[in-house]
Structure 1
Amino acid sequence: MLPPTAQKKLQSWIRSRHLICSGHFFLFETVDYTTIERFSTCIKALGGTLIAVDSIGKIWIGDHRQVVLYRARASLYPKNHALKLYWLKYGSFRTRFDERI
């Protein structure tokens, strides 16, 4: 994946509140593990590393279905990366799943 494409994808996750910045790390939450793999590819394309992926619980989707919620933690090497500035402008301090847990 090319870096401009990876950056656009990460920006869309910031706007949808799947990706937040916490200190020097980027936290990504989703219920789909294949999305974690795409996130890892985007982070590596920008020169960062995926630190850990954890399942942090289950959430209800509808009345009869529970799904596993995954959280990935990544680090981008440049401290003042343009993505962090984008998060400051368009992002949030809470992910979209914070209300459900």
Structure 2
Amino acid sequence: RCCVKGRFGWSFVHSEDRLRKPLIKENGVFREASWDEALDLVAKKFTGLRDTSGPDSLAFFTSARCTNEENYLLQRFAREVMGTNNVDHCAHL
């Protein structure tokens, strides 16, 4: 059985305020970007940081608004792709 949030806390999924496209900040201003451009930028930044400062310079935080499967995938990505065990959940903050 789900908790109250799990059963009834899904209004954010259809919220008008939800971001629908990636945004990239340039010179202090956000602009819309394609998914490919945004994901390429994130991959470049993550690997650059990992390569220059080591894998433990990265930390990944999961969310109660994600499914169990999404949280599982993020921790697998952090551990197996990025090489860090620095994974936590927002409930611990």
More strand by share: 1
| Bigger CA radius of gyration | 2
TM over 0.5: no
Q: TM-score scaled by structure 1?
A: 0.26
Q: TM-score scaled by structure 2?
A: 0.27
More helix by share: 2
**Structure with the larger RCO, 1 or 2 (CA within 8 Å, 6+ apart):** 1
